[in-house]
Every structure is written in C-alpha cells, then in structure tokens.
Chains A and B, each alone.
Chain A
Amino acid sequence: MRVPFCWLKDYVKVDESAQEVAELLQSVGVPVENIESVGAQISGVVTCKIEKAEKHPEADRLQICQVNTGKDNIQIVTAATNAREGLITAVSLHGAVLADGTKIKRTKFRGVPSEGMFCGCEEIGVDPEFFPEDKREGIVELDPSTPLGVEVQKVLPIVEDVFIIESFANRADQLSIIGVARELAAKVHRPLQMPKILEDFDNASINDEKEDLVTIEDYEACPRFMARLIKDVKVGPSPKWMARRLELAGMRSINNVVDITNYVMLETGQPLHAYNRWKLAGGRLIVRRAGEGEVITTLDGNEQKLPEGTIVIADPEKNVGVAGIMGGLDTEVEDDTAELLLESAAFASGDVRRASLRLGLRTESSSRFEKGLDIERVIFGSQRASYLLGELCGVVESKIVVKSIPNPDKESIVLRSNTLKRVLGVEIVLEKSASILRNLGFEVEILDSGDLKVQVPSFRIDIAEEIDLVEEIARHAGYDNLPNTLPDVTPGSVIFHSDAVEEKFRDMAVSLGLNEVITPSLFGLDTLEKFNIKDDVWQIINPLSEDQRVLRPYIFPSLIEVVNRNLRVRNEDLRLFELSHIYQKDGDKVKEPMRLGLVLSFVGATFFNLKGVIESMAQILGVNLTFQRTDLSWGHPGCSAQILLEGKKPIGWICVLHPVIAKELDIEQPLIFAELDIESMAKAQGVPQYKKISRYPSVERDLALVMAEDVQAGVVSARFKQIGGDLVSSVKCFDVYKGDSIEKGYKSMAFRFVLQSMDKTLTDDDISKFMKKIQKLAEREFQAKVRE
C-alpha cells in the first residue's frame, strides 16, 4: 500500500522526517519497504528577501531588486508585479534547474545584469492550492518567518514522500492510512486524530422490511449493508488536493463521487461503491448469490462469467456488481448522474477471495475484503463519505437504510499477570502494558489480580487470544528494548547430527578433486525420454513450466546437463559431484533416499578413473565394493557395472554414457558417471580394528596368464586372494594385452602378487611353491596358460 506522508499527517502530528517515521513504523512492525519521492527534481532554488525594489530606467514593466539570499546580496531583474520590498520569496540562482528542466543563467535585461530569476508555483512545481487564493499568482509569497537561503524544497511541498508498505497478511487494519497512523500515534504517544464524519446514523432506518432500497438474501454472505440514497448530486472534477493524494496513493482521479469512494477506502479501509440510481431497475439493490450461468460486464469493460454462488449486487432485472470486487459498467457514475445509491457493506472474506481468484480479478476492494471482516467499519466509512459528499459535491442530506445482523458480542481476553514475563523473559509494568493496548484502540481493565481484561476493537480481527496481546505489548515496548539472554536448557538432550554421512561423503569427494554442484530437483518429462529412463516417477500437477514436471528419480541427468552447459563455454575438464535426495514411488508413498552422483568428463577420461574415485571412497570408509557387469538403459552396454557392497547388496552403478545419447547431446569427449546409495555404504562402515603390520619383508612376483577373452580379472584375482589367504597381502591385474602373439579370442593378463608372512622372512622355496600352486589353479579353473 502507498501511504503519502502528507496524508498520514492528517491523523497524527509529525515532527519527524520521512526517514525517521519509516524507522518508527518498522520498529512496531509496519513494514516500510521503501520511501518513494514523488515530484519535481529542482535544484538551486533558495528562499530570499527583497530588500529593495526600483523601476528599471529603460523598461516600465521591469523592476530591479536587491535581494538577500542569506549569504549574499544579489541583483535580480523581474517582471513580476507582486515583487516588492520586504517580500520573502524564492529565487533560482545561476545554474539552478527548474521543474520543467530549464537551466537558469546570469543575464542582462536592457543592460541591467540579473543574477537569476524569482519563481512562481509553476517554475518550482508546487501546487498553487498550497497558498491562499489571493496569493497564487506571480512569484511565490512565503511566510515572513521563513529562514533565508534554504532550499525551497524544505519549506514548500514540492517533493512528496510516499511510504511503500507491504503490510503483513494478518493485518487487515493496515490496509488503511488511519490504520498506519494509529500505529505511529501509539508509537510516539500522540493522539490519533480521526477525520470528520457526518453523524447521521441516527436517521437511518435499520432492518425495516418495508424499506426496500436494499434487500439481503444471505446474511452470511453480507452481514451488513448500509445504503445511502443521495439526490441532487453535482458530479464534476475533484479538488486538486484530493486528486493529488489519490495519485500519490496510486489511484487515478475520475470524478468527485468516485474519488470520494476511493479516498475513503484508502483512508479507512472500507471499500465503497456508488451506483447511478436511475440506471437501477426499481431504484434498489439486492444482495444474493449468483445462480448458474450468470454474467456481468464490470467497470473495466470485461464480461465476467460468474461462478455459481458468487455474491452479487443486483437490481430486480440484472447484476450491477460483483460483491466486494468491482461494480458493473451499466450503473457507473457519470458526469450527468444526479442520483446515487452509495454502498458501504461487509462481505464474507472467503467468498470474496474465491471469487477474485476464479475471476482473475484482484482489486483494491477485494484485497481489503479478503483479509477479513470488520462490520463496524461499514457505518464509519459511509459517514465519512457523507461528510465529503457534503463538502465537495454539495450534498445536503441523504436517506439511509441499513440491513444488518446485530453487532457481534465482544469477547474479552484476559492477559494473565505472569504471561509477559514467561514469554518475553522480562517484567513489563502493568500500567505500561495497559497504556500500550489503549493507544492501539483496545479497552483495558486492570483487575485486582494484576491480570488485564482486554476488549479488542472490531478492526483488529487478527487478535484472538492471550499470546496476540503479548505480541502487541512486545512490539510497542520495542523488541530492541528487551534484554538479550541465553536459554537455560535442561541438560540431557542427546546431540545427534543427521547430516554426518552426507558431510563425510562431501569431504571425501572434494579431497579426491571433485567439484560440488547443486542442481534443481525437478526436471522435465523430456529429460526422462532423453536418457531412456523408464522408472515410474512422481509428478508436479501445477508446475510453472514443463521443466518442473518431474521429481527426479536420479541425479545424473542434471549432472550431464551441467557438463553439457560447461562444454558449450569450453570448460572441458569436468570432475563433478552432487549430494541430493532423489524421489521414488513406493506405492502411494514418496521415498527420498540420499544419493551421491558423480561425473567425470575430460579428454582421456576412462571408466577406471571414476571407478578409482569410488574405490578410494570405499577404502577410506573401509568397506568392500565389487563391480559387476550390468545393463543400464543410459549406459554403454560394454561399459556399465553394478556396484555391490560386500559382494551382496547393490548400492549403485557406474557407466560410460551410451554413445547414442552422447551423440544426441552432442558430447564428444568421454563422459563417465555413477550414483551411489551413500547411506547403505556408511551403514556398512564399522569402527576399523587395528591389524598388525608384518615385521618381515614383502616380495613381489608377477605372473602373466593367457586366458579366454571373457574371463574377468576381478574374478581371477578374487580367487587367487582366496587361495593365498594370509600370505597374499595384495594381488592385482596390472596389464591386459591382446595382439599378435596372442591367439584370437584370448588375452594375456599380468598379475602382480605381493607376498608377505607375519611369522618369517619368506624363502625362495616358499615363494616358488606358492606361485606353482597359483599357476596350477589358474590352469585348472580358468584354462589359463602361463605366458612365456
């Protein structure tokens, strides 16, 4: 909401600057997002006094003035007839900029030099109505007490400050300038000055069934309606001050009647609507719910199809308004309108919100109604409008009909004497609490017990219980005035960190030279297709765009997208990981296991680089992983593996990107990726137990074996290790050779054994016996031949 500073000052006396007021408002929880300065950007115009004025010897209509600018005495030649000795006015000096952008320079009039120019309202962009009627022509006439030599912006309303306030969702009362003023007044301990109203409610006919100016069919939809019939209204332009204020508040001036309804809405928060009564069939209104298929053309010229049940204002023949949202075009007030029916009503907030959403029609009125209902405001708003109609449109009297439920009973809330201390941690003097609440419009009774019995004003629909009062007192006592203490927590709460596994893997991945990335957890259905993912996935039913449709079942598509984006900008050495939850369907339930996604892509990268990364992690954790050839719909069929924990439990996979997908993505360099179930890996990790280190020397022996091509090195070494037992501290295949000297369909694999005993230095005899045994085993089980 836009709150012009000048308007706010109508209700509370303010000596502070706009900046200071903004800070005061912030401190009590009125969020001022910004202060906007609206108005002409003039500079170099200062207040001055004409010390002497003489006729120009060469020109009858010019005067030569000696001027005191506070600092200097200068000479100004002017044609202004009201320039005279002793006048305090405004002068633009050499270099000054005026409201229309004109730059002022020294000049000569018929040979007499002039250092600048006196200014009128137009030159400095001030509203002439700021001055009394007889002082609006010629150069400005300032108050004799005005100090000399100050910038004219400081003494005239040239730039208006407007507070941009984003009030909180629960504070319906702050969608009015009075509501904001009330907070300010309470904060600075000054009275809130309410605007003038016409106290004509006594003349109202209340719930008289014979008065059929207005009929309410559903009091839940509209608990109160105050209709005001006004004859002999003179529709015309609004006075400038009102048009200006509306403009500052972000509304357009239309005519005095419409402007009054908008002005009162901004001022009090009560939306009003004026109908041209001659266009109302039967000259009366009915509040009812729309049936099926009803329509209305609203003021904005659009035809609205009304959802069934929408609250409408109608006459006996047609709809004339969508309740609380917008009036109809047919019954709009125009320049020749002579008879008005003015509506001030309360509509059910839920209904207004739903209708506004469904119609896609959000208005100043609807945004006020949907926040909540204050039926007492209905009468005040109408009476305020009545006063202004009298002042500005010559309205002498009006006929008032009120249809309403009775005022709801006011329940009081008890604020117990110990609650403030219990919640805030500090005592607040009883009288102070009471006075804070009273300044905010609450009625407070101090009970003998020290409790406060509090009646909530109707405009504070957000206050329902004791804790709400605590907040009122805390914010006006000032949060910053409360002490800062540390909690005295009961010992015994167990400290446990659920992020430990994730952080462990993050550290490991980083230590292995990988960069962490974070990518969105949602992607498009096309991504599933691109990577040939066939999983049943969870989907978003209301995404903003199609790339937010799927809750990702894997991380790798996002990682490959990151690779691709980097390759396009020639970042070509990519070693990345991401830790994220993925989303799986478990019948009707959503499962969100944690995954580690890994990807390598650089010239020369191989499957074994990434396998090495994963093995390093396993080594650090002290868990045993094995890799088993598998098929993945996104992986190269010859270079995909399932990863098994302790030879049994599948905890992930690794692959080279399928060449067909790589081609579609236009990725030419190698791309290897993997995903790991880190929770399972971490669970397998025990506390490592110390193993004795042998004091005897170790020896290395190599053995090259020729075997059929499809024999896997991992299987062979595992078997060797099994046979070797304690004697073999490691066995690895370090070279695979296929070529001329090897028969087709076969390959040579070179294994390196590291042998060591805990008990003794191995003799040549021990070693050759062992190697013989291995050789025999290889021949028997793998049909291997020793390569000479």
Chain B
Amino acid sequence: MSVLEQLNQLRSEAEGEIVKASSQQEIDELWVRFFGRKAGELTTILRGVKDVPAEERPSVGKLANEVKAQIEELFKIQKERIYQDSLNERLASEKIDVTLPGVWNKPGRIHLLNATMRRIKEVFKGLGYSVVSGPEVETDYYNFEALNIPANHPSREMWDSFFLREGLLMRSQTSSNQIHVMEKQDPPVRIISPGKCYRRDSVDATHFWEFHQIEGLLVDEKVTFSDLKGTLELFAKGMFGSRRKTRFNPSYFPFTEPSAEVMVDCFVCEGKGCRVCKNSGWIEIMGSGMVHPHVLRNVGYDPEKYTGFAFGMGVERVAMLTYALDDIRVLFENDQRFLDQF
C-alpha cells in the first residue's frame, strides 16, 4: 500500500474509532494507538515520509499534515464530548432534595426582656444619654427619703418592699439611682439607668415581685416640662413607630412635680380601640415628671439654678404590649419553646 493509501485508510479508521470512545481511558488508548511516540500508527507513517521518493514527498507531506490535523480535531471533539457526558452524569448524580432540613448550630437568642431593654436603651443612647447602673440593695435613704418620700408618708404604700433588715431593702424602683448619680457628679446629667426592682406584689398575669425598670434623668440649666414632653414623644416614636402620637396626663410621684403619665396611641389597633388599650385607644407607657426641688436639694443641687426631668418605665409592660404577651409569668419561666420565639 502506498503511503497515500495508508494515510487515507488511517483517516477512515480514526473517523470510525474515535467517535466510539466513551471514556477518558479509551480515548487515551486511542491516542497512543495513533500518536504513540514509539509505535503510533500515524507516527510510524509520518516517520516513513522521508523514504518516499522526492517527487511524491510534497503531496504526501501535505496529506500527512492534513490527516494529522483532522485526527487531532476528532480527538479534541470527542474529548470534549466525553467530558460533557461525565460532567452531566456527575451533576445528575449529585442532585439533592432542597426541601430537606438545613444542618447548622441552633442560634442563641437574647431574652425578650433584655431585647426590649436594648431597644429602649438604643433610643436614649442615640439622644446622648449614658447608661449607668446602680445597686439593687438600697438603704432607706436612697430608696425613699432622698426621693422625697419621708417615713410615714402615705405614698410609701405605693411601694411595699422586701427588707434585709431595718433600713436596708431591695430597691422598689430604679429612681434610687438618680440620687447616686447626682451625688457623684455636677450637672449636666443625662443618664438612663436600667435594672431589676422588687416589690411585695402578689403574682398575677400582670404582676411579678421582681421586674425591670428603666429610669431616665436629665438635669441642667433651663430644662423644662416642655422638654420632657418633646423628649418622651421622640422616644415613643423611636420605640413604637414614627406615626405614634403621645398624650400626657397629670399623675403623682413624690419625687417629681409636675408629674405626668405618658400615653401613646394604641399601636395594636391604631387608636380604634381594642383589648390591649381597653378600648380607650391609648396605652400608658411610663411615668415622668420634673425632678422635685426637694430631690435636687437633697443631692446639693440648687433648684433655683437647675431643673430637670425624670422618667421611668416598666420593661415587662413594654415587652408585653409590644409582643402581645398575656401573662407576665412566661417571661420568668424560660420555657425553651418561649425563648425560641423571639
């Protein structure tokens, strides 16, 4: 067989064999068969080109190059086809049921009360208030007397307290920390003071003998009741939504005067009347007032020079209102199913 014939035959063999290769291994074997360095069929023919008579050599050489290129192209195409097939096979085999549950560590969560406390703190931090904590065990002086609640005052009934001994008790409100702060620094004072408080209340759906309050205090020259209103309105909007409206009703606390309870229009029913707002359209969220001159005098501030406002809110109450809780006790039971809800 002439070299030309051999080349043509090899070409038709390659055309038949290469497309039949179905794996990387088969195609590699075929490659060796045609292009193997020692005994590759095409390699052998190419090696024989130099023995071809000189006048035929150009045409043989041309064909040889042509066949080589064609076979190489066939290999390339088939290799790509095999790769695609195996890729498709792998992708098909790796198909998953995306509706199966995810696998990761369970997230931890902040207790609802502290999450609420944080939201409240964030609003006041944004207004430039410092967070200052104070002792939970207080003397009679800080818990009552300095706050303008002398012994035998009828208003002492508002706070039935746990005593460690005569004159030493669990604080019944965070207002006691007002005194600590003002004793330590001169105005301007701008603080909030969160913490636990204790009262001898019987437990029911809205009362627990231990609860959380956040107290706020701002004292400076030129602080007015209108400032109190503006600040707490801003808070109500920050906490309960920018559309909220506030209302202030006169109230009574021995340590503030004038005193006011702060009402916000019901964020559950948008003021239309519901169970949460007892159909009034308004929800009481905190007590507040101008710091009583006696209190300022007790810490050595001149009430002729300084004025201030104070406010206090029950964190449980805010949390219960916000998250539609109907019983305060679930907050202290810590059932995992409750903790996982918020």
Which residues of A does B touch, CB under 8 Å? Answer: 26-29, 31, 168-171, 349-350, 353, 370-372, 422-426, 465, 467-468, 470-471, 474-475, 479-480, 482-490, 492-499, 503, 506, 509-522, 538-544, 548, 551, 562, 565-566, 569, 571, 573-577, 579, 581, 583, 590, 592
9 tightest Cβ-Cβ pairs between the two chains A and B: A29-B250, A425-B224, A425-B226, A168-B252, A571-B336, A471-B258, A479-B248, A484-B230, A475-B250
| B132, B137, B187, B252: the one within 8 Å of A170 (CB) | B252
- Across the interface, which residues of B come within 8 angstroms of A573, CB to CB? 106, 336
Known: A423-B307, A540-B163. A517 touches B111 (CB 8 A): yes
Known: A370-B154, A467-B257, A514-B108. A496 touches B227 (CB 8 A): no
The reply to whether A590 and B259 contact each other, CB–CB distance below 8 Å, is: no
Main secondary structure of the interface of B (DSSP, over half): mixed
State the CA gap A513–B109 with chains docked (Å): 8
- Across the interface, which residues of A come within 8 angstroms of B135, CB to CB? 590, 592
6 pairs of residues in contact across A and B, judged by CB atoms under 8 Å: A487-B220, A506-B110, A510-B110, A543-B162, A562-B334, A590-B168
The reply to whether A488 and B189 contact each other, CB–CB distance below 8 Å, is: no
State the CA gap A96–B158 with chains docked (Å): 47
Q: Does B204 contact A (CB under 8 A)?
A: no
State the CA gap A571–B339 with chains docked (Å): 11
- Across the interface, which residues of B come within 8 angstroms of A372, CB to CB? 154
Q: Shortest Cβ distance from A671 into chain B, in angstroms?
A: 15
Q: Does B28 contact A (CB under 8 A)?
A: no
The reply to whether A29 and B137 contact each other, CB–CB distance below 8 Å, is: no
The reply to whether B164 and A541 contact each other, CB–CB distance below 8 Å, is: yes
Closest partner residue, chain A, to B249 (CB atom): A26
The reply to whether B293 and A422 contact each other, CB–CB distance below 8 Å, is: no
| A27, A423, A489, A538: the one within 8 Å of B249 (CB) | A27
Known interface pairs A487-B224, A499-B194; 10 further A-B residue pairs with C-beta atoms within 8 A, sorted by A's residue number: A475-B250, A480-B248, A487-B220, A487-B222, A497-B130, A516-B108, A520-B209, A541-B165, A551-B137, A571-B337
The reply to whether B130 and A422 contact each other, CB–CB distance below 8 Å, is: no
Q: Does B107 contact A (CB under 8 A)?
A: yes
- Across the interface, which residues of A come within 8 angstroms of B133, CB to CB? 498-499
The reply to whether A540 and B162 contact each other, CB–CB distance below 8 Å, is: yes
Q: Does B340 contact A (CB under 8 A)?
A: yes
The reply to whether A519 and B332 contact each other, CB–CB distance below 8 Å, is: yes
State the CA gap A475–B289 with chains docked (Å): 12
- Across the interface, which residues of B come within 8 angstroms of A499, CB to CB? 121, 131, 133, 194
- Across the interface, which residues of B come within 8 angstroms of A171, CB to CB? 252
Q: Does B206 contact A (CB under 8 A)?
A: no
Q: Shortest Cβ distance from B250 into chain A, in angstroms?
A: 3
Q: Does B264 contact A (CB under 8 A)?
A: no
The reply to whether B108 and A510 contact each other, CB–CB distance below 8 Å, is: yes
Closest partner residue, chain B, to A30 (CB atom): B250
State the CA gap A592–B221 with chains docked (Å): 34
- Across the interface, which residues of A come within 8 angstroms of B164, CB to CB? 538-541, 551, 590
Closest partner residue, chain A, to B186 (CB atom): A493
- Across the interface, which residues of A come within 8 angstroms of B223, CB to CB? 487, 489
Q: Does B60 contact A (CB under 8 A)?
A: no
The reply to whether B200 and A544 contact each other, CB–CB distance below 8 Å, is: yes
Number of interface residues of B (CB under 8 A): 81
| B108, B155, B190, B293: the one within 8 Å of A515 (CB) | B108
- A-contact 0/1 string along B145-184, CB 8 Å cutoff: 0000000101101100011110010100000000000000
- Across the interface, which residues of B come within 8 angstroms of A349, CB to CB? 154
- Across the interface, which residues of B come within 8 angstroms of A544, CB to CB? 200, 202, 209
The reply to whether A169 and B154 contact each other, CB–CB distance below 8 Å, is: yes
State the CA gap A519–B196 with chains docked (Å): 11
The reply to whether B210 and A521 contact each other, CB–CB distance below 8 Å, is: yes
Q: Shortest Cβ distance from A356 into chain B, in angstroms?
A: 11
Q: Does B247 contact A (CB under 8 A)?
A: yes
The reply to whether A520 and B332 contact each other, CB–CB distance below 8 Å, is: yes
State the CA gap A509–B111 with chains docked (Å): 12
The reply to whether A470 and B234 contact each other, CB–CB distance below 8 Å, is: no
| A31, A486, A517: the one within 8 Å of B234 (CB) | A486
State the CA gap A581–B106 with chains docked (Å): 27
Closest partner residue, chain A, to B251 (CB atom): A29
State the CA gap A565–B53 with chains docked (Å): 101
State the CA gap A521–B135 with chains docked (Å): 13
- Across the interface, which residues of B come within 8 angstroms of A579, CB to CB? 114
Known: A169-B155, A518-B114. A490 touches B187 (CB 8 A): yes
The reply to whether A542 and B226 contact each other, CB–CB distance below 8 Å, is: no
**Best-surrounded residue of A424, A493, A538, A551 (most CB of chain B within 10 A):** A493
The reply to whether A482 and B249 contact each other, CB–CB distance below 8 Å, is: no
Closest partner residue, chain B, to A578 (CB atom): B111
- Across the interface, which residues of B come within 8 angstroms of A575, CB to CB? 106, 108
- Across the interface, which residues of A come within 8 angstroms of B247, CB to CB? 479-480
State the CA gap A350–B153 with chains docked (Å): 9
| B110, B165, B220, B332: the one within 8 Å of A516 (CB) | B110
Q: Does B105 contact A (CB under 8 A)?
A: yes
State the CA gap A296–B26 with chains docked (Å): 118
- Across the interface, which residues of B come within 8 angstroms of A497, CB to CB? 125, 130-131
Q: Does B65 contact A (CB under 8 A)?
A: no
The reply to whether A474 and B258 contact each other, CB–CB distance below 8 Å, is: yes
Q: Does B333 contact A (CB under 8 A)?
A: yes
The reply to whether A513 and B108 contact each other, CB–CB distance below 8 Å, is: yes
- Across the interface, which residues of B come within 8 angstroms of A483, CB to CB? 226, 229-230
- Across the interface, which residues of B come within 8 angstroms of A422, CB to CB? 224, 307
The reply to whether A516 and B114 contact each other, CB–CB distance below 8 Å, is: yes
The reply to whether A506 and B229 contact each other, CB–CB distance below 8 Å, is: no
State the CA gap A475–B252 with chains docked (Å): 11
Q: Does B41 contact A (CB under 8 A)?
A: no
- Across the interface, which residues of A come within 8 angstroms of B293, CB to CB? 465, 467
State the CA gap A496–B129 with chains docked (Å): 8
Known: A467-B292, A519-B334. A474 touches B225 (CB 8 A): yes
- Across the interface, which residues of B come within 8 angstroms of A512, CB to CB? 108
Closest partner residue, chain B, to A26 (CB atom): B249
- Across the interface, which residues of B come within 8 angstroms of A581, CB to CB? 136, 196
- Across the interface, which residues of A come within 8 angstroms of B129, CB to CB? 495
Closest partner residue, chain B, to A574 (CB atom): B336
Q: Does B335 contact A (CB under 8 A)?
A: yes
Q: Does B233 contact A (CB under 8 A)?
A: yes
Q: Shortest Cβ distance from B66 into chain A, in angstroms?
A: 51
Known: A169-B157, A544-B202. A493 touches B188 (CB 8 A): yes
- Across the interface, which residues of B come within 8 angstroms of A513, CB to CB? 105-108
Closest partner residue, chain B, to A170 (CB atom): B252
Residues of chain B in range 202-257 having any CB-CB distance to chain A below 8 Å: 202, 209-210, 218, 220-227, 229-231, 233-234, 247-252, 254, 257
Known: A510-B110, A518-B332. A353 touches B226 (CB 8 A): no
- A-contact 0/1 string along B97-140, CB 8 Å cutoff: 00000000111111101100010010001001111110111000
The reply to whether A489 and B210 contact each other, CB–CB distance below 8 Å, is: no
| A486, A493, A495: the one within 8 Å of B231 (CB) | A486
Q: Shortest Cβ distance from A632 into chain B, in angstroms?
A: 24
- Across the interface, which residues of B come within 8 angstroms of A485, CB to CB? 224, 226-227, 229-230
| A426, A494, A521, A551: the one within 8 Å of B226 (CB) | A426
The reply to whether A569 and B335 contact each other, CB–CB distance below 8 Å, is: yes
State the CA gap A492–B189 with chains docked (Å): 10
State the CA gap A516–B112 with chains docked (Å): 9
Q: Shortest Cβ distance from A333 into chain B, in angstroms?
A: 31
Known: A513-B108, A515-B339. A498 touches B131 (CB 8 A): yes
State the CA gap A577–B105 with chains docked (Å): 16
State the CA gap A442–B333 with chains docked (Å): 53
The reply to whether B250 and A471 contact each other, CB–CB distance below 8 Å, is: yes
State the CA gap A488–B223 with chains docked (Å): 7
The reply to whether A479 and B260 contact each other, CB–CB distance below 8 Å, is: yes
The reply to whether B226 and A566 contact each other, CB–CB distance below 8 Å, is: no
| B190, B234, B332, B336: the one within 8 Å of A566 (CB) | B336
Q: Does B331 contact A (CB under 8 A)?
A: yes
Closest partner residue, chain A, to B250 (CB atom): A29
Q: Shortest Cβ distance from A547 into chain B, in angstroms?
A: 10
Known: A372-B154, A484-B230. A516 touches B250 (CB 8 A): no
